[in-house]
Amino acid sequence: MELRRSRLPLAIVVAAAAAVAATLVLRPRSGLVEPAAVEVTDYFSAAELERARDFREPQRLIALAGLAVSGGTLALLALRPPRRLLEPLGRRPLLGGAAAGAGISIVLVAANLPLAAVSHERSVDVGLSTQDWGPWLGDVAKAAGVEAVFAAGGGALALALMRRFRRNWWAPMAACAVAVGVVTLWLFPVVVDPLFNDFERLPDGKLRSDTLALAREARVDVGEVYRVDASRRTTAANAYVGGLGPTKRVVLFDNLIEGFPPEQVRSVVAHELAHQKHRDIWRGIAWLALVAPAGTFLAQRLTERIRGTAGGPDKPGPGALPALALSLALVGFALGSASNVLSRQVEGRADAFSLRLTGDPAAHIDLERRLARVNVSDPDPPALLHALFGTHPTTVERIGIGEAWARSAAR
């Protein structure tokens, strides 16, 4: 018994060490610019800062409450599972696992729906969301359906592995996690994303020719460039890279294309090209591959502790999935916060690459200011929350990168 109890602390140490090691191994070793120290009040008015904080501070509280609701719901399901619902599913374990996985997913969506509705209403009030309740609920339903399908597949697969590999199911589960990560990155742009937005190839014209010319200058195979109708649900502006192989693409929000000056759009495009140049999507997959074994090892130990088992003779049924879901949520939160350290470094390097490619720090700085205003973002969020949840440098840090590059170039 003491040996079994010692496995959980060991698993925690192993997972933490794997996350630190993966971040150190994969961190950018060159191309970074140390941000200059800048004052937020030099770039934003008192009214702009007050508007951002009046909106974002309650939104952060709502998001944290959502995490608490999700965690509490999973804990309740794991510690007091609804046996009358789960036991009949055990007659056909894999189908039962799929049903249980989908059910857990739908319960979580329902539990968080009131908080999501409050968050949406506040976004409408501030002018960030353009959706009425009908379209918003339609998107919520579609997202819930997609999540339920994946949860069903995940539930069936997880239960199959747990039943086949009684004591060491964490190992094949780690391999499956990496495989699923690759497949979803490949397929999402052409299967899931079009369920929510319309994507069109960027038409021939100045923006497309400038984008392709910038890609040639950067020596980047950009794949394809798309415009997405983000304005159907938001006034926010953004861009991103996605896909693998034939689905590789750069996607620009229509709000960005239509609402920002050409030099600022060019700065955004150069930033996204940096991710293609440095193969940052593959970097993320490599991080997952390095961390997944330790993460699933910890998830198995947590699941066993919650269920009070340790690879005993009985084969688990669908009733084991709430404990597994809670364990994966806890491990995913911890490892996700660790991965954000790497993400912020990668995004900082992309900013520096954009500055070198465009040679236009003024456009970069003006872009960051404009994005913060349009997206109603807090340019200097609380340090702890940013460390846990921030995937990019703060707006103030990104402005500091631009200022540091400008000062260096002026020497």
Q: Residue 365: which pLDDT band, with cuts at 50, 70 and 90?
A: very high
DSSP code per residue over 142-187: HHHHHHHHHHHHHHHHHHHHHHHSTTTTHHHHHHHHHHHHHHHHHH
Mean pLDDT of 223-239: 92
Query: Does position 389 have pLDDT exceeding 90, yes or no?
Result: yes
Helices (H), 27-92: 46-79, 83-86
Residues of the chain with pLDDT > 90, as a percent, come to: 84
- Residue whose tokens read 């060159």: 30
Q: How far apart are CA 407 and CA 46, in angstroms?
A: 27
Q: What is the pLDDT of residue 1?
A: 44
Q: What is the pLDDT of residue 3?
A: 45
Q: How many CB atoms lie within 10 A of CB 61?
A: 11
Q: What is the pLDDT of residue 4?
A: 53
Q: Residue 109: which pLDDT band, with cuts at 50, 70 and 90?
A: very high
- Residue whose tokens read 């660790």: 338
- Give the three-class secondary structure for 203: coil
Q: What is the pLDDT of residue 2?
A: 45
Q: What is the pLDDT of residue 13?
A: 94
Q: What is the pLDDT of residue 224?
A: 87
* pTM for the whole structure: 0.92
Q: What is the pLDDT of residue 230?
A: 94
| pLDDT tens sequence across 249-301 | 899 999 999 999 999 999 999 999 999 999 999 999 999 999 999 999 999 99
Q: Residue 6: which pLDDT band, with cuts at 50, 70 and 90?
A: low
Which is higher by pLDDT, 410 or 377? 377
Q: How far apart are CA 89 and CA 75, in angstroms?
A: 20
Q: What is the pLDDT of residue 309?
A: 59
Query: Does position 5 have pLDDT exceeding 60, yes or no?
Result: no
DSSP code per residue over 120-144: HHHHHHHT-B---HHHHHHHHHHHH
Which is higher by pLDDT, 235 or 91? 235
| pLDDT tens sequence across 307-337 | 875 444 467 889 999 999 999 999 999 999 9
Mean pLDDT of 329-353: 96
Greatest Cα-to-Cα distance within the chain, rounded to the nearest angstrom: 74
Query: Does position 44 have pLDDT exceeding 70, yes or no?
Result: yes
Of the segments 91-100, 212-221, 387-396, which one has the largest average pLDDT value? 387-396
Q: What is the pLDDT of residue 221?
A: 86
Q: How far apart are CA 87 and CA 100, in angstroms?
A: 10
